Each structure stands twice: as C-alpha cells, then as structure tokens.
Amino acid sequence: MTRYLVGRIFQAVLGLVFITTLVFFLVRLTGDPARILMSDFAPLELREELAQRLGLDRPLYEQYLSYMGGLFSLDLGRSFNGQPVIDILLARFPATASLALAAMFVAIVLGLPLGILSAVYRGSAIDIFARTVALFGQSVPAFWLAIMLVLIFAVILRIFPVAYSQGIESYVLPAIAIGWAAVAGIARLVRSSMLDVLDSDYVRMARAKGLPSTVVVVKHAFRSALIPVLTFAGLVLGSFLNGSVVVETVFAWPGLGKLTLDAVNSRDFPVVQGAVIMIAVFFITINLLVDLLYAFLDPRVRYR
C-alpha cells in the first residue's frame, strides 16, 4: 500500500506539472490583456508600461520559470487587479463546495434508490419509471432545466429565490439543475451493476441459504455493485467542484465556474491558471480517494 501511495502521489505531481504547463501556454494564445485593461485609444507607451508592470514584457520562458518557482511555495501569483490569486480562489471556494455537496446529495439520494429498485424489480412499472427518469435526466440540458426551474418555482410560484442568497433555500434549485444529470447516470449505472451482481453465483447461494431479500440485496449485491458507481461518483463530484459555468450564471452563483469564465474573458492569466490548478488538484485527490475505497468495498482488491 505504501508503494502504491508513493507512486500515485508521484503521478499526481507529474500530472499537475503537465496541466500547469499546458494551461500556462494556452491562456497566452487568447490575446494581449493590455488591450482589455486599457482603452483602445491609450498611447503605446502606457501599454508598454502596463505590460512591464505585469511582467508580460519578459520572454515567455522567464515568465514560465518564475511562475513554476512560485508554485513550490504555494504562490499562485497576483491577479491583474492586484489581489493575490489564492485569496480570490478561497473566497469563491465555499460557495462552489457547498453547492457541489448539495448537488451530490441530490444525485445520491435520488439515483441510488432508483437504480436499486429498477434492478430488483426489472421489467415492472418501477423499472420503466426509473429508466424514464434516467432518459429525461441525460437528455435535458442543464441550462434549460435551470431556466425552467427559475421560471416555475422562483418566478411563478415564488417558492425559492431566483439568485444566490445566504439561506439554505437558495441551494435547492441550482443543486437540482446541476445534480439532475448525475441522478440519471447513477441510476443507470447502479441498475446495470446490480443486474450483473444479482445473477452471480454467490448471490444465488445467499438466496438458497434462506437469507431475507433485503439482506441479499443490500449486504451482498449492493456492496459489490457499488465499485463502478463509486468511480462515476468521484468524477461527478470533481466536476461539481469545478463549478458549472452555465448554472452559476443563471443563478448568479459566486463560484469558481463563473470566476474562471470572467477571468478568461478579461485575459486575467494568473486567475485562470490558479483556477485550473485547483480543479486539477480536486480531480487527482478525488481519484486517489476512490482508488483507496476500492479495497474497503471489495476485499478482493489489493494494491501491490
């Protein structure tokens, strides 16, 4: 296990270096930030002075080495507005993290029961209903669902607020809008995995021993069927933590997704790079935790 952890951490570091390098050079292909930060009628001398103050007049390799050197001390640089990037990201992170957990709660609470019931009662009305919900969830765009939720529950019925607020009721609509597609994915994956497990020999043996159906389904079948679902849920949680740009825009949610979009539009290179690094750290950490949970869910899984 120790060798496995060391190897995965080494892979994570290499992945972060590759992602950081790729983003560093790609964002500089979007254009000159001085054109946005200053008026089109500004003298050339002022633009050159601004580029010198922001460090954009140096050769590209010097900018890259300086940025990578700062990362080793957890310095993500400063935004072009003068604020430290780490402070900007940490200010937006709580809103994104809380919304991601709310959306994941919606996906698990709705997706797992639908998938289990659909597999146990396959071919029944419950199965048809669950597959219909899954089809609807994967075919409806998130932006359309978000707009419809706002129109019905916020504008017409006035049950929930239209935009972000401090109350817990403001999480309901955006969490459903973000998590609805994950509900469909989890339900379909749980159903498929449960059908494979329910037809296995050890489940038939458990039924032959006279164990109650609830024990067979929950203790024997569901635990083994949860491994592929765990992988999917980890990727979904990582995408939730990234922030949904469309949904955050519809609900005026001050999260990382909207922050990244605004930074791209304003050519704020340090903020874009910092946001992408934070997103990469989320994905790599979640994938590592998912791999470690495999051994807990299935004793047959061992890391050598």
Res. 256: pLDDT tops 60? yes
Identify the CATH number of the domain in which residue 228 sits.
1.10.3720.10
What pLDDT shows up at residue 152?
92
Q: How many domains does the chain have?
A: 2
Res. 229: pLDDT tops 80? yes
Eight-state DSSP code of residue 164: -
Of 71, 100, 132, the last residue of a domain is 71
Six token digits for residue 81: 């507005």
**Domain for residue 81, yes or no?**
no
Eight-state DSSP code of residue 28: T
Q: Are 224 and 122 contained in the same domain?
A: yes
pLDDT in tens, 24-59: 888 777 666 666 666 666 677 777 777 777 777 788
Whether residue 107 contacts residue 175, with contact meaning beta carbons closer than 8 Å, is answered with no
**Domain for residue 131, yes or no?**
yes
Q: Are 103 and 45 contained in the same domain?
A: no
Q: Are 13 and 52 contained in the same domain?
A: yes
Eight-state DSSP code of residue 124: S
3-state secondary structure of 78: strand
Whether residue 283 contacts residue 245, with contact meaning beta carbons closer than 8 Å, is answered with no
Res. 299: pLDDT tops 80? no
Q: Are 43 and 104 contained in the same domain?
A: no
Q: Are 189 and 66 contained in the same domain?
A: no
Eight-state DSSP code of residue 211: -
pLDDT in tens, 125-139: 999 998 898 888 888
Whether residue 163 contacts residue 252, with contact meaning beta carbons closer than 8 Å, is answered with yes
Q: Are 120 and 40 contained in the same domain?
A: no
Q: Are 110 and 225 contained in the same domain?
A: yes
- What is the Cα–Cα distance from 11 to 17, expressed in whole angstroms? 10
Res. 231: pLDDT tops 70? yes
**Domain for residue 46, yes or no?**
yes
Res. 107: pLDDT tops 80? yes
Q: Are 7 and 59 contained in the same domain?
A: yes
Domain housing 55: 2-71
Could you give the angle at the alpha carbon of 87 between the alpha carbons of 84 and 88, nearest 5°?
A: 90
Least-confidence region, from 118-127, 165-174, 203-212, 282-291: 203-212
**Domain for residue 209, yes or no?**
yes
303 vs 200, higher pLDDT:
200
What integer best gives the mean pLDDT of the chain? 82
Q: Which one-letter amino acid corresponds to residue 74?
A: L
What pLDDT shows up at residue 34?
66
